[in-house]
Amino acid sequence: MKKLNITIQVEMSVPDDWELVQTSEGTPVVKLPNGQFMDVAIEPLFATDPEETWSSTEDEDVLNDILDMVESEAVAYEFVSE
């Protein structure tokens, strides 16, 4: 068995009122002005409390708005032998 490391780098232009905050575990997330928090993994994830359950959005417009902010994206794949 081998491991696959995937590194995703995304550059975005975002509104000035977005902030970076950390969860109690030290994970950085984005605080949105509407009382939600966003974590970008393979897809944007949202929560009303960064310590609770994160979920994707059902609202296509919200997802499209976030994806429209992406200016560039780089994905690197690397197999790592154990």
pLDDT in tens, 2-58: 888 888 888 889 999 999 998 998 888 999 999 999 988 778 889 999 999 999 888
The token pair that represents 71 in the structure block: 């200016």
> Whole-angstrom Cα distance, residue 55 to residue 51?
12
Question: Where does 2-69 show beta strands of DSSP type E?
Answer: 2-12, 19-22, 28-31, 37-40, 44-47
The token pair that represents 58 in the structure block: 């059902």
